[in-house]
Amino acid sequence: MRTTTPTVTNSSPPATPHASWASRQKTVGRLLDNGAIPYIRYTKKGNRWVSRADVLAYHERAHMHHRAHLKNMQEIVTEGNLDDIDYEAYLAQFE
């Protein structure tokens, strides 16, 4: 009499090295749809073509925007004396 061992299957999807590809694709699509990066579409449902220079220009604009906000936050912290707070004591109250 021959016995077979049951196979155990993993119900979760396999991890792929490009798991975040779909979310990146949606984000790039939003940037193109909002006009942040100009593109050319040769057919009605074809792929969108972007210029490398336009992508680098967007990257530079986004970087400068983030740096300006970071500098603003640093000035607010310095002006409000928020950098003198003992964060360890503050976080200890939540343990």
Domain boundary assignment for the chain = 22-92
- Cα separation, 15 vs 12, in Å, equals 9
Predicted pLDDT of residue 25: 65
pLDDT averaged over 10-residue windows placed end to end, the chain, 95 residues = 48 53 76 93 88 96 92 84 75 81
Predicted pLDDT of residue 3: 52
Angle (CA) 60-63-65 rounded to 5° is: 110
* Amino acid occupying residue 27: T
What lies within 8 Å, CB to CB, of 31 at 6+ separation is 37, 58
Predicted pLDDT of residue 50: 94
Go through 40-70 and write b for each residue having 16 or more CB atoms within 10 A of its CB, e for each that does not. eeeeeeeeeebeeeeeeeeeeeeeeeeeeee
Predicted pLDDT of residue 21: 61
